[in-house]
Every structure is written in structure tokens, then in C-alpha cells.
């Protein structure tokens, strides 16, 4: 069993290297293990040698005292300091690799819930405790939670991030080989914490496509978000032609906006989420704080759908007529329809979504 | 040699000392003698140590197999929560300061008592009042939040969080009172000639610890009050849907609980300095560096709490700062280890039990300390955070460090405390069993952690089993290693050979009075004309003949 563990990996007791960063993390680990072995053995042997060499021979043996030495102190303050700064720098650079946002990732949305992981693919597929992803793409998870703090952890990918109530967190990885990898909840989350496990299944792109088309779609994430957008009457204020009392959302995502209160904000997932549940927190300059909160009216999963929709508007230009260009979004016909039908609301109170 | 001493003692009149000065339960429960209060603490703390240990063995037994076969998930969650709470708040934090510190500080300073003897007694009652609430919470069904009480889980939990929080809140005052008492005592009650740089390093370590206790513990109190308000009134401090922030709790919690680690380890380092000096008969190499490293650790300890939160959605730059600062704690810790090692050079090293514990301490502390570097390294922490790697790391520091030092110190000062020697052979066996059992228990957990086994798991994947079996086997050896001293210490109180005033001999003032000391500690206030750890033939003989009898 041991031998097997040793032979399976080039680093003993390390999980499989399933992502592009795994090896980077392992190298830092190997460096630290070597350092620990070196200092551990060196100090232990020195102590053992002294303890043998200077073992008390007779009961009235009193050695001369040695005060100390500033030179030696400087040496063993200076050398460890240099070493730990190297570790700090190395650790930080690995961290930046792990956390720097990938370009053009495959966006998958995750909701943690006592005690399961719910995944939504951009094409609308949903799965629980299993996540299929294609090889050769960078996978980015945007994660929210319905209840307590969870933490998504895939040992083989060496990535982990807490999923915190009230905000969205994200992690990404690039799988480097196909296979089935264990996925854990690493933040203690109550009774069945240890049962909140699942698998990431990395497939060849073609296989993944086949898997995608096999599942019941029910509309893409963005189109579901769009339906919700009109159900909640968001489109009565956020009009595409900029005549609404809220800003048009086309072309906004990913951009930086000036705030009423001064400063700027990047329109990212977390800003959109905050603006839905707590709209008055950060008002974009030029608009009045009239938007009501949707806290409690939309579930965490619906929030992610709305965000996916607003994100999909990020590539368009404000004022662009819906359906006017050839952007191939399935959502477009339905985006065009409700707009004329909606009467101008007299109050900024939101329409309560139809709860089924 | 021992026979000669016994014969000598038989000739003199029965001596009055703090143990036989008064009899009866009232003479103990109302005592204001710091030495008796230390023994009261010893009794309370030992109860909690074995309670926490029993929880630990249940946990290890459950983890023998991958499936949850001996208890329900709920029972398991309560086991590890209460193991953590009991061990940290009711054993590790008070153990060395409240037992050894209480007993020894006035003796080492040449004082009659602590500055505030009644407050000292009060702190023991406060500890026990907190203990009553905690025991109530355990009996009434336990707590399942983990000892860290992370929100929102702890706000929503239907288990006995409130009485447990009250218990910890009250217990904190005991810690603050002890710290306050120590600081005032060290400042005002040093014997004539005992300057700051003649103090034993044990005293320096307790000074640094006391600073953390009085500065840090109030933050824990505030955190617990906020948690209570949140549970009872639901005002939304930590509730995101009401505009609060669940991560705020973690900041507050770790602002105390990281320095709390140093409340556990600094006194341990103080003990180890005493042991290394006494059993190599050498002045501690670089005395002032070791002394100031305690203060440095206390100060840095307050600046690094965020390294518990690298994956908590804390900003990348906050992570950088906390990682950077965390490495500064490594330096004074390394300084201590190097200076201890250098002290052995050309010493006269004996292999008595306390020294074996000190050697064990250094070995475990090197592993525990160096694995701290792994956790402070941002990119690596992302992988090992909240896995068994962390469990192994902090057990190496807190159990391998604090408990080894506590046991080493108990053996070293046992003759002073009770006037009796313990059986050396059994004691050496206990030191060996603790060292072997400890490593077998916790070393496999580093490997489990890097493999990815998350902590606080009731059931786990089959491929983690081999290492878990090793860990459980180690825990049973460790358990035996802990029970042994309990048995022979009690045995020695009645049957142990009578101890000399200064059996080792040690150099501190505590060895300048008889064993056990009289109620007033010294018959006359000693005047100090020598530096700490001056071991010479002459002064050791001088210590040997201090006023026995009378």
C-alpha cells in the first residue's frame, strides 16, 4: 500500500496532478519539505551530538558559562530571515497564478447548500455533486451559497475557495488530463459536512459536447436570466434605449464606472449581485438611488442566472437594437417582446416575480 | 544519597510548609496562598485535560474506519467541537500560567505572594464558574459548531451554543485577571537586586504572555457578546442578508485566537529555557535575545490573524500583507531554538526526565514551527488550508509544544511542589511513550492533509484509511503516555522519596527555599547578587543547605 502510494506519484503522498497549477504548488511544497528536513535533521543531530558529547560525567561537574555571541545571533536571525522572504515571495507568486482571473474561461455557476453542490452550465445543464468539464478549457467557477459558509476544494487541482453568504467568490483551473477527481467541502458546514462531496469529471471536448446535448437543457443560463429579468420588471427601468430611470446594461459588464459617492467600481459579478440585493450600496454617477432591493425575492441560483444574462449584455453596445445585430443569443426574441408590452410603472416598486 | 537526606530529615522537627500549614477543605477553598491556588488549578485543569482527551480518543476511534460506524454525524461533530473548546479554553491556555506560573512566579521573584492574592483566588473561582456553564452545555446536549464558532453556522445552530459561549466568556476573565496579576507582580515585587536582566526566562515568557492575555482576551469577549446578540436578537452583524458580514466574525475571532496560540506556547518556551539551563548547567546562550524574542512574538502575534483567512474571500492584497507579517513570527521562534541548541555546547548535560521532555519539545517544535511556514505561504496554503495538514501543524505546536513543556515542567518542579521525588524509570518511560505516541498520531496527518483529506470529516474516502489507522494507533500510545504520570505523581505524593530543597540543582530563587516551601515562601527576603543561570559549585551548595526545618 505504501509502496503503491510512493510509486503512484513522483512526490510521495501527493494527490494526482490534475491541473496546470498543481505542479507549481507541488514544487513549492517540495522546496519546503527539503528545507524542513534539512533544518530538522541538522538541529536534531546537533542537539543529539551535544547531549552525547557533553553528557554529565560526574555530579559536581560545573561547566564555564558562555554569554552568547552577537555575531552568531546576527547569523541566525539573518539567514532564516532571508529564507522566509524567499518562501514568502514564492508563495505569493504561486498565489497570483492561482488567483489571477483567466481569460476567456468556461463560466460555470455554483451554489453551495447544506449539503450539496449545485452546478449550472452556461447552456443550461444543471447537475448536483457532479461537475462535467471539457479538457483544454480554463474552467471558472462563480460561487454563491444559500446558507452557511462552504469551501470548494479539489485536491487534484490544488485549488480551494470559500463560498461565503452575501457575496460571490470564484476559482478557476485548467484541467490537464481527463479523469474523475474528488471534490470536497473544506469548510465545516454542519451535520453532514463530510457528506458534501462530489466529483469533477474531466472529459475530452467531444465527449463533453455529447454529454451537454444529452441533458435536459431548458434554456441557457443567460436566457433563463433574461426571462427572470423581465418577470421581475427589471427591464422597465434598465431599458436598452437608455430612456429608463436606470442605466442601460448593454456594454457595461467588465467596465469601470464612476460612482455617485466618488471613486470607481468595476462592474463584475459581485457588483451586479450587490446591486440586486442592496442597490443603494454603490450608485453609479448620474443616477438616483431609486432601485428597490430584491433581497429575498430572488434565490441564489436566480441571482447567478441574472448575472449570466447581464454578463452576456456586456459585449453589446448601449442603444443597440435587440435583435438588430447578428449576435447569436437564443435570448434575443424574448428580449424584444416584453419591452413594448410593459406599461411604464408609476412607482419604483418591483413586480413580485411569479413564484411557482 | 537519598537515604542520607531522609535520615537527616527524620532528625529535625516536623517542618511546617504550605501543604500542612492548615488542614480542612476551607483552608483550601479560601486560601490566598498562590501555591495552594496553583494546586487548585492543577486539579481543575487535570479534570478538563482528561475530559478533552476522552473526546480525542472517541474521535480517533471513529476515524479508524472510513465509515461512520460508532457514532452519528451529529455526535461526531459535537465530539470534535467539545474536544477543541475544552482543550483550548480550559486546558492549554491556562495550564502553564495558572499552574506552574502561579506556583513559581512569586518564588522566582523572591516574593511572598502575587501582588493581588485575593484576585488570584477569584480567578480560580471565575475559571470554575465558566467551567460550570461549559459542562452544562456539554451535558445538555453539546455544541456542534466547531470550536471556531464560524458564523452563520453558529448563529443558526440549535445546539447549546449560548451556555457554551457564556462559559468561555466568563473563563476569559480568569485569564485576564491572571495576566494582570502577573504583570503587576513582576513589576513591583522583585527581590532586592533582582533586575530585569537577572530574571529567569520563565518570568520573561510569562510577562509576554500576560500582555497578550490582557490585550487580546477582551476582543474574544467582545466577539462572543456580538455572537450572543446575533443569536438572540438577530440584528445582522454577521448576517449578509441584513447587511452584515459573516467574515467579520472570522477577523474578530482570529484577532484573539491567533495570539492565543502564543498564550499557549510562550510559557512553554519559558519552561524549556529553564529545563535546558538546569540540565546542562549553563547560562542560556544569548539570554537577552531569548528574553526579547518572547516580547517580539507577543507583538507580532497581534498582526498575523489574517493568515487563517487566505481562502475566505479576503482580498489578495490583505493576503499578501498577512503572509508577509506571518514570517516575522518565525524569526524569534528560530532564535529561541538556535539559542537553546547553543546552550548545550560544552554543557554538563544530564538525561533526567525533564530534559528528555525538553529534547522532545524542541524536536516537535521544529516540525510544528516549520510547517507553519507552509501555511503562511499563500499559494501552498490554498491547497492545505482546512485539511489535516493544518490539524497536524497546530497539534505539533499546541500539544507537542505546550503539553510537552507542561509535563517537563511538572517533572522538574514536582519535588518543589510536593517535597517528593517521582519514580525516574517510569517517568522516562512516559516521556518516551508521549514522544513516540505523539509522532505516530500526528505525523501521518501531515500526509493525509497534503493528500487532501479535509478536517472535521466524520467519514472519509477509503484511500485515506491506512494513515488514519496509524494515527489512531498513535493516539492510544499517547493516551498511555499521559495516564502514566497521573498515576505515578499521585503515588509519589505518599511514597516518593523525600526531595531535597534543590535536587537537580537549579539556579533560580525557587530552589533557595525548602521543598515544599513554607507558606510565606522565604524565611527572609533573599537579596540577589548573581545573574540568572549562574551554576557554580559554590552557589549550588549554598542552595543545598538553605534553611531546612524550623
Whether A11 shows a pLDDT value over 70: the answer reads no
Indicate whether B383 pLDDT > 60.
yes
Backbone angles phi, psi at B349, to 5 degrees: -95, 125
CB contact under 8 A, B386 and A160: yes
How far apart CA A272 and CA A312 sit, in angstroms, is: 13
Residue A32 has its nearest CB partner, among B345, B374, B456, at B374
Determine whether the interchain pair B377/A15 forms a contact, defined as Cβ–Cβ distance below 8 Å: no
Q: How far apart are CA B306 and CA B310, in angstroms?
A: 7
Residues of B in contact with A194 (CB under 8 A): 68, 73, 454, 456-460
Q: Which residue has the cell 549553563?
A: B282
Beta bridge partners of B349: A55
Q: How confident is the model at residue B341, as a pLDDT?
A: 97
Q: What is the mean pLDDT of residues B181-203?
A: 96
Mean of pLDDT values over A19-41: 94
**Residue of A4 and A249 predicted with greater confidence:** A249
B454 touches chain A (CB under 8 A): yes
Q: Is the pLDDT of residue B201 over 80?
A: yes
Q: Exposure of B30 by Cβ count < 10 A (0-12 exposed, 13-18 middle, 19+ buried)?
A: exposed
Contact (CB<8Å) A54/B280: yes
Q: How confident is the model over B524-531, as a mean pLDDT? A: 87
* Residue B361 and residue B272 in contact, taking contact as beta carbons nearer than 8 Å: yes
Q: Which of residues 208-267 of A touch B (CB under 8 A)?
A: none
pLDDT for position B542 = 52
What distance in Å separates the CA atoms of residue A129 and residue A164, rounded to the nearest whole number?
A: 18
A211-225, B147-161, B378-392, B462-476: which range is least confident on average? A211-225
* B74 has a chain A CB within 8 A of its CB: yes
Which residue's C-alpha cell is 441557457?
Answer: A220
Q: Which phi-psi region, left, alpha or beta, contains residue A143 (left: φ > 0; alpha: ψ -120 to 50)?
A: beta
Contacts of B364 in chain A (CB under 8 A): none
Place of cell 496560540: B261
Q: Which residue of B has its CA nearest to A55?
A: B349
- Which of the residue ranges B130-139, B232-241, B285-294, B420-429 would you say has the lowest mean pLDDT? B232-241
Q: Which residue of A has its CA nearest to B383?
A: A158
pLDDT in tens, B450-469: 999 999 999 999 999 999 99
Q: Alpha carbon B79 to chain centroid distance?
A: 21
Q: pLDDT band at residue A319, thresholds of 50, 70 and 90?
A: low
A78 vs B: CB within 8 A: no
Distance CA(A351)–CA(B5), nearest Å, equals 93
Please state the rounded mean pLDDT for residues B101-116: 96
| Residue B25 three-state SS | helix
**Peptide bond just before B505 cis, omega within 30 deg:** yes
pLDDT value at B218 more than 90: yes
Judged against a pLDDT cut of 90, whether residue B541 lies above it is answered with no
Q: Do B383 and A155 touch (CB under 8 A)?
A: yes
- The pairing of strands A130-134 and A198-203 is parallel
Residue B236, burial from CB neighbour count under 10 angstroms (0-12, 13-18, 19+): middle
pLDDT of residue B550: 33
- For chains A and B, count residue pairs whose Cβ atoms are closer than 8 Å: 281
Q: Which of B74, B144, B382 sits opposite A158 (nearest CB)?
A: B382
What is the least distance, in Å, from the CA of B165 to any CA of chain A?
18
Beta bridge partners of A172: A140
Are B387 and B444 contacting, i.e. CB atoms less than 8 angstroms apart? no
Q: Which three cell numbers stand for residue B515?
A: 521543598
- Alpha-carbon Rg for chain A, nearest whole angstrom, is 28
With CB atoms and an 8 Å threshold, state whether B349 touches A193.
no
DSSP class of residue B454 equals B
Q: Look up residue B489 and give its DSSP letter.
A: H
Q: How close A336 gets to chain B, by Cα (Å)?
A: 33
* Rounded Cα distance, B389 and B496, in Å: 42
What pLDDT, on the 0 to 100 scale, is given for residue B6?
56
Alpha carbon of A200: minimum distance to chain B alpha carbons (Å): 15
Q: Which residues from B are below 8 Å from A161, CB to CB?
A: 311, 313, 382
Place A330 in a pLDDT band, splitting at 50, 70 and 90. Answer: very low
Q: Are A344 and A233 in contact (CB under 8 A)?
A: no
pLDDT band at B499 (very low <50, low <70, confident <90, very high): very high
Would you call A62 and B535 a contact, using CB atoms and an 8 Å cutoff? yes
Contacts of A63 in chain B (CB under 8 A): 280-282, 346-348, 535
Which of B246, B282, B373 has the CB atom closest to A84's CB atom? Answer: B373
Q: Are strands A106-113 and A139-145 parallel, antiparallel or unpaired?
A: parallel
| Cβ–Cβ below 8 Å for B153 and A182 | no
User: In this structure, how many other beta carbons lie within 10 angstroms of the beta carbon of residue B71?
Assistant: 16
Average pLDDT (B110-132) is 96
The per-residue pLDDT for B540 is: 57
CA distance B103 to B122: 16
The mean pLDDT value of chain B amounts to 93
pLDDT digit string, tens, across residues A95-127: 998 888 888 899 999 999 999 999 999 888 889
Question: How would you class A87 by CB atoms within 10 Å of its CB: exposed for 0-12, middle for 13-18, buried for 19 or more?
Answer: buried
Question: Which of A15, A63, A167 comes nearest B452 by C-beta?
Answer: A15
Q: Which of A98-102, A346-350, B201-205 is modeled with the greatest confidence?
A: B201-205
Asked whether the beta carbons of B238 and B152 are under 8 A apart, the reply is: yes
Between A182 and B540, the higher pLDDT residue: A182
Nearest to B516 by CA among B28, B24, B35: B35
Which residues, numbered 332 to 371 in chain B, qualify as contacts with chain A under a Cβ-Cβ cut-off of 8 Å? 334-335, 337-339, 341-342, 344-351, 359, 362-363, 366-367, 370-371
Render pLDDT for B235-282 as a digit per residue (tens, 0 to 9). 989 998 888 899 999 999 999 999 999 999 999 999 999 999 999 999
Instruction: Give me the residues of A, 324-353, that contact B with CB < 8 A.
Output: none
Q: Is the Cβ pair A151, B311 closer than 8 Å? A: yes
**Any CB–CB contact under 8 A between B315 and chain A?**
no
- Can you tell me the mean pLDDT for A71-90? 96
For residue A154 the three cell numbers come to: 479539489
Q: Is the pLDDT of residue A322 over 70?
A: no
User: Residue range B308-318: average pLDDT?
Assistant: 92
**What confidence score (pLDDT) does residue B466 get?**
95
Check residue B549 and give its pLDDT. Answer: 37
Interface of A with B in 53-72 (CB under 8 A): 54-57, 60-69, 72
CA dist B522 → B111, B112, B183, B331, B526 (Å): 8, 7, 21, 39, 8
Whole-number pLDDT of residue A297: 84
Query: Is A55's CB within 8 Å of B381's CB?
Result: no
Res. A355: pLDDT tops 60: no
Cβ-contact B35, B517 below 8 angstroms: yes
> Sorting pLDDT into bands at 50, 70 and 90, what band is A14?
confident
Whether residue B379 and residue A161 make contact (CB cut-off 8 A), yes or no, is no
Q: Among B311, B386, B387, B312, which Cα is nearest to A98's?
A: B311
pLDDT for residue B538: 66
Residue-level pLDDT at A284? 87
Mean pLDDT of B214-239: 94
Instruction: Please give the pLDDT value at position B181.
Output: 97
Q: Nearest CA of chain B to the CA of A29: how many Å? A: 7
Residue with the larger pLDDT of the pair B2 and B353: B353
* B248 touches A: beta carbon within 8 Å: no
| Contact residues on chain A for B323, CB-CB shorter than 8 A | 88, 91-92
Task: Name chain A contacts of B286, Cβ cutoff 8 Å.
Answer: 68-69, 72-73
**Best of A149, A180, A200 to mutate (most B CBs within 10 Å, chain B):** A149
> Which one of B142, B297, B351, B452 makes the best mutation probe of the A interface by having the most chain A beta carbons within 10 Å?
B452
Of A25, A51, A187, the CB nearest to B379: A25
Q: B458 and A151 in contact by Cβ < 8 A? A: no
Q: How far is A9 from chain B (nearest CA, A)?
A: 11
Distance in angstroms (rounded) separating the CA atoms of residues B378 and B382:
6
The separation between CA B66 and the C-alpha centre of its own chain, rounded to angstroms, equals 32
Q: Write the residue in A66, A98, A185 that is nearest to B285 by C-beta.
A: A66
- Could you tell me which residues come within 8 angstroms of residue A327 by beta carbon, excluding any fewer than 6 positions away? A315, A316
Q: What is the pLDDT of residues A161-202, one digit of tens each?
A: 999 999 999 999 999 999 999 999 999 999 999 999 999 999
Return all residues near B50 (Cβ < 8 A) that are at least 6 apart. B486
Which three-class secondary structure string do you get for chain A?
CHHHHHHHCCCCCCCCCCECCHHHHHHHHHHHHHHHHHHHHHHHHHHHHHHHHCECCCCCCCCCCCCCCHHHHHHHHHHHHHHHHHHHHHHHHHHHHHHCCCCCCEEEEEEEECCEEEEECCCCCEEECEEEEECCCCEEEEEEECCCCEEEEEHHHCEEEEECCCCCEEEEECECCCEEEEEEECCCCCCCHHHCCEEEEEECHHHHHHHHHHCCCCCCHHHHHHHHHHHCCHHHCCCCCCCCCCCCCCCCCCCEEEECCCCEEECCHHHHHHHHHCCCCCCECCCCCCCCCCCCCCCHHHHHHHHHHHHHHCCCCCCCCCCCCCCCCCCHHHHHCHHHHCCCCCCCCCCCCCCC
Q: What is the mean pLDDT of residues A337-341?
A: 37
Integer Cα distance of B120 and B32 in angstroms:
7
pLDDT of residue B2 exceeding 80 = no
- Choice between B8 and A150, residue whose per-residue pLDDT is larger: A150
Q: How far apart are CA B92 and CA B96, in angstroms?
A: 8
Measured CA angle at B489 (ends B483, B495), to 5 deg: 135
Residue A91 pLDDT more than 90? yes
The four Cα atoms B139, B141, B146, B148 give a dihedral, to 10 degrees, of -60
The answer to whether the beta carbons of residues B239 and B156 sit under 8 Å apart is no
pLDDT digits (tens, 9 = 90+) for B173-188: 999 999 999 999 999 9
pTM here is 0.89
Query: How does DSSP assign B58-93, residue by residue?
Result: HHHHHTTSSS--SS-HHHHHHHHHHHHHHHIIIIIH
Give the distance from residue B44's alpha carbon to the nearest chain A alpha carbon, in angstroms.
30
According to DSSP, residue B23 is labeled -
Measured at the CA of B221, the angle between CA B220 and CA B222, to 5 degrees, comes to: 90
Residue B339 pLDDT: 97
| Residue among A162, A111, A117, A116 at smallest CA distance from B247 | A162
Confidence of residue A311 (pLDDT cuts 50, 70, 90): confident
Q: How far is B81 from chain A (nearest CA, A)?
A: 11
B116 part of contact set with chain A, CB < 8 Å: no
What pLDDT is stored for residue A338 in this prediction? Answer: 38
At residue A216 the predicted structure's pLDDT band, cuts being 50, 70 and 90, is low
Rounded to whole angstroms, the Cα distance separating A57 from A70 reads 31
Model ipTM? 0.92
Q: Beta strand pairing status for A139-145 and A169-173? A: antiparallel
**Contact indicator for A246, A291 with CB cutoff of 8 Å:** yes
The Cα–Cα gap between B148 and A231 comes to 42
CA distances from B524 to A329, B106, B175, B190, B520 (A): 93, 14, 31, 14, 9
Give the pLDDT confidence of B60-107 residue by residue, as tens digits: 999 999 998 899 999 999 999 999 999 999 999 999 999 999 999 999
pLDDT for the residue B70: 93
The string of pLDDT tens digits covering residues A229-255 is 888 888 888 887 777 788 888 888 888
Amino acid at each position: 500500500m505504501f509502496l503503491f502510494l510512493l510509486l503512484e506519484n513522483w512526490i510521495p503522498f501527493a494527490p494526482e496532478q490534475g491541473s496546470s497549477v498543481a505542479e507549481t504548488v507541488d514544487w513549492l511544497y517540495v522546496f519546503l519539505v527539503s528545507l524542513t528536513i534539512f533544518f530538522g535533521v541538522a538541529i536534531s543531530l546537533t542537539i543529539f551530538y551535544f547531549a552525547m558529547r557533553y553528557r554529565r560525567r560526574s555530579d559536581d561537574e560545573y561547566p564555564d558559562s558562555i554569554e552568547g555571541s552577537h555575531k552568531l545571533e546576527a547569523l541566525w536571525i539573518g539567514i532564516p530571515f532571508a529564507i522566509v522572504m524567499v518562501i514568502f515571495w514564492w508563495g505569493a507568486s504561486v498565489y497570483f497564478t492561482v488567483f489571477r482571473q483567466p481569460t476567456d474561461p468556461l463560466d460555470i455557476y455554483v451554489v453551495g447548500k447544506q449539503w450539496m453542490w449545485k452546478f449550472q452550465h452556461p447552456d443550461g445543464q444543471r447537475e448536483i455533486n457532479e461537475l462535467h468539464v471539457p479538457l483544454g478549457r480554463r474552467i471558472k467557477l462563480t460561487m454563491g451559497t444559500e446558507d452557511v459558509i462552504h469551501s470548494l476544494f479539489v485536491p487534484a487541482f490544488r485549488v480551494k475557495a470559500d463560498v461565503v453568504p452575501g457575496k460571490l467568490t470564484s476559482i478557476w483551473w485548467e484541467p490537464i488530463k481527463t479523469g474523475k477527481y474528488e471534490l470536497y467541502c473544506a469548510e465545516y458546514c454542519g451535520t453532514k459536512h463530510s457528506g458534501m462531496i462530489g466529483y469533477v469529471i474531466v472529459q475530452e471536448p467531444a465527449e463533453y459536447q455529447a454529454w451537454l446535448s444529452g441533458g435536459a437543457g431548458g434554456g441557457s443560463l443567460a436566457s433563463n436570466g433574461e426571462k427572470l429579468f423581465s418577470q421581475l420588471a427589471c427591464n422597465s427601468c434598465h431599458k436598452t434605449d437608455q430612456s429608463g430611470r436606470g442605466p442601460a446594461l448593454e456594454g457595461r459588464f467588465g467596465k469601470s464606472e464612476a460612482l455617485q459617492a466618488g471613486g470607481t467600481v468595476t462592474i463584475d459579478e459581485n457588483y451586479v449581485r450587490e446591486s440586486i440585493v442592496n442597490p443603494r450600496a454603490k450608485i453609479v454617477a448620474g443616477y438616483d438611488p431609486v432601485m428597490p432591493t430584491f433581497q429575498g425575492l430572488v434565490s441564489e441560483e436566480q441571482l447567478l442566472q441574472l448575472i449570466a444574462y447581464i454578463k452576456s449584455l456586456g459585449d453589446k453596445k448601449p442603444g443597440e437594437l435587440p435583435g438588430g445585430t447578428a449576435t447569436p443569443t437564443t435570448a434575443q426574441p424574448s428580449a424584444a417582446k416584453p419591452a413594448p408590452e410593459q406599461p411604464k410603472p408609476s412607482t419604483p416598486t418591483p413586480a413580485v416575480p411569479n413564484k411557482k | 544519597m537519598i537515604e542520607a537526606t531522609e535520615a537527616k530529615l527524620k532528625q529535625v522537627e516536623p517542618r511546617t510548609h504550605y501543604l500542612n500549614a492548615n488542614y480542612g477543605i476551607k483552608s483550601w477553598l479560601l486560601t490566598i496562598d498562590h501555591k495552594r491556588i496553583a494546586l487548585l488549578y492543577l486539579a481543575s485543569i487535570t479534570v478538563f485535560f482528561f475530559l478533552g482527551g476522552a473526546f480525542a480518543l472517541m474521535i480517533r476511534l471513529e476515524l479508524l474506519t472510513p465509515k461512520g460506524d460508532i457514532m452519528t454525524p451529529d455526535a461526531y461533530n459535537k465530539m470534535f467541537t467539545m474536544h477543541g473548546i475544552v482543550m483550548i479554553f480550559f486546558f492549554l491556555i491556562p495550564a502553564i500560567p495558572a499552574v506552574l506560573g502561579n506556583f513559581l512566579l512569586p518564588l522566582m521573584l523572591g516574593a511572598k505572594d502575587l501582588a493581588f492574592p485575593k484576585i488570584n483566588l477569584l480567578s480560580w473561582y471565575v475559571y470554575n464558574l465558566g467551567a460550570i456553564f461549559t459542562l452544562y452545555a456539554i451535558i445538555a446536549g453539546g455544541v456542534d459548531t466547531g470550536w471556531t464558532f464560524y458564523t452563520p453556522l453558529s448563529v443558526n445552530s440549535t445546539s447549546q451554543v449560548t451556555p457554551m459561549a457564556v462559559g468561555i466568556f466568563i473563563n476569559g476573565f480568569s485569564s485576564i485577571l491572571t495576566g494582570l496579576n502577573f504583570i503587576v507582580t513582576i513589576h513591583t515585587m522583585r527581590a532586592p537586586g533582582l533586575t530585569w536582566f537577572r530574571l529567569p526566562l520563565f518570568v520573561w515568557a510569562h510577562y509576554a504572555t500576560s500582555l497578550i492575555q490582557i490585550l487580546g482576551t477582551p476582543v474574544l469577549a467582545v466577539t462572543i457578546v456580538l455572537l450572543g446578540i446575533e443569536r438572540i436578537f438577530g440584528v445582522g452583524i454577521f448576517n449578509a442578508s441584513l447587511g452584515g458580514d459573516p467574515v467579520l466574525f472570522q477577523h474578530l475571532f482570529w484577532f484573539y485566537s491567533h495570539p492565543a496560540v502564543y498564550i499557549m506556547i510562550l510559557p512553554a518556551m519559558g519552561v524549556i529555557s529553564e529545563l535546558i539551563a538546569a540540565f546542562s548547567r549553563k547560562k542560556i546562550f544569548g539570554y537577552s535575545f531569548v528574553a526579547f524574542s518572547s516580547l517580539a512574538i507577543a507583538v507580532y502575534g497581534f498582526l498575523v490573524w489574517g493568515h487563517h483567512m487566505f481562502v475566505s474571500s479576503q482580498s489578495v492584497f490583505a493576503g499578501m500583507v498577512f503572509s508577509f507579517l506571518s514570517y516575522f513570527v518565525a524569526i524569534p521562534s528560530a532564535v529561541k531554538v538556535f539559542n537553546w541548541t547553543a546552550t548545550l555546547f560544552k554543557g554538563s548535560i544530564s538525561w533526567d526526565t525533564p530534559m528528555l521532555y525538553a529534547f522532545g519539545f524542541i524536536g516537535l517544535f521544529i516540525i510544528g514551527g516549520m510547517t507553519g511556514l507552509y501555511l503562511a505561504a499563500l499559494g501552498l496554503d490554498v491547497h492545505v488550508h482546512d485539511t489535516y495538514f493544518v490539524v497536524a501543524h497546530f497539534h505539533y505546536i499546541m500539544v507537542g509544544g505546550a503539553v510537552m513543556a507542561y509535563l517537563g515542567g511538572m517533572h522538574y518542579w514536582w519535588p518543589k511542589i510536593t517535597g517528593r521525588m517521582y519514580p525516574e524509570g517510569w517517568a522516562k518511560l512516559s516521556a518516551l511513550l508521549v514522544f513516540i505516541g505523539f509522532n505516530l498520531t500526528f505525523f501521518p496527518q501531515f500526509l493525509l492533509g497534503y493528500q487532501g483529506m479535509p478536517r472535521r470529516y466524520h467519514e472519509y474516502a477509503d484511500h485515506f484509511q491506512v494513515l488514519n489507522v496509524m494515527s489512531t494507533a498513535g493516539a492510544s500510545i499517547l493516551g498511555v503516555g499521559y495516564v502514566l504520570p497521573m498515576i505515578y505523581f499521585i503515588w509519589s505524593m505518599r511514597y516518593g522519596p523525600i526531595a531535597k530543597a534543590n535536587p537537580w540543582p537549579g539556579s533560580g530563587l525557587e530552589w533557595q527555599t525548602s521543598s515544599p516551601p513554607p507558606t510565606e515562601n522565604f524565611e527572609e527576603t533573599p537579596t540577589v547578587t548573581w545573574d540568572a543561570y549562574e551554576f557554580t559549585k559554590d552557589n549550588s551548595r549554598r542552595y543545598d543547605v538553605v534553611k531546612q526545618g524550623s
